[in-house]
Structure 1
Amino acid sequence: MSLVTTHILDNADGDPASGVVVTLSDSTGQQIASGTTDDDGRVADLGPETLPPGTYRLHFQTGAYFSAKGVTTFFPEVTISFTVSEAAHYHVPLLLSPYAFSTYRGS
């Protein structure tokens, strides 16, 4: 399993958000890895097994997801910054709707 994983739940309909492209980048904007959410809304293998301490970003291309559903959204993309401080598993979920989103540190 990679050090960073994520999943997306579409809170508007209560289903996982599949087919969303997610990229992981460092603080300089250098892309480290990318993946696409599966039928369960998850990207289980996003990048290397180790990352040096620092700030990283997950970028979710949510506009294409909503467009494919025929739904207008205020957030065509979502970027979440987080800090890696030690060699541990970092699970960063995204709770999404067309006009709101939230996140937390998962397990």
Structure 2
Amino acid sequence: MASLSTHVLDTAAGQPAAGLRVTVESADGTALAAGVTDHDGRVGDLAGDLPVGDLRIRFDTGAWFAAHGTDTFYPEVVVAFTVTRDEHFHVPLLLSPFGYSTYRGS
């Protein structure tokens, strides 16, 4: 089975996004795993034993920005991806109140 990690950086502040809730879901919305980013904006072992197929990682950006007194256009960021084989996947998120980007990391 595959494993997953993430790293979230607040690009507007130039800081890690510590304390941001992250959930991994199957394509039908079933929660498979959840975690909260650490002081460095990371969840190193977010999910293990991920099934092959289409999955989503959901970042609770609205609650995180609200806790920091910042308005945001995106109440959540959902990144869909496909697990095709047993390996480690890393999905970083570069975040600001009015934009975001992601990529497949290593």
Q: TM-score, normalised by structure 2?
A: 0.95
Residues 1:53 and 2:52 aligned together? yes
Separation (CA, whole Å) in 1 of partners of 2:41 and 2:86 = 25
**CA deviation profile, 1:1-27 (whole Å, cap 9, x unmatched):** x71000100010110001110000111
Gaps of 5+ in 2: none
Q: Which runs of 4+ in 1 moved over 3 A?
A: none
Q: Which residue of 1 aligns with 2:71?
A: 72
State percent identity of aligned pairs.
53
Q: Which residue of 2 aligns with 1:44?
A: 44
Q: How does 1:26-45 map to 2 (within 5 A)?
A: 26-45=26-45
Q: Which residue of 2 aligns with 1:92?
A: 91
Q: Which residue of 2 aligns with 1:24?
A: 24
What is the root-mean-square deviation of aligned Cα atoms in Å?
1.1
Secondary structure of 1:28's counterpart equals coil
Aligned residue-pair number:
105
As a proportion of its length, which structure holds more strand?
Answer: 2
Separation (CA, whole Å) in 2 of partners of 1:67 and 1:80 = 21
Q: Which residue of 2 aligns with 1:15?
A: 15
Gaps of 5+ in 1: none
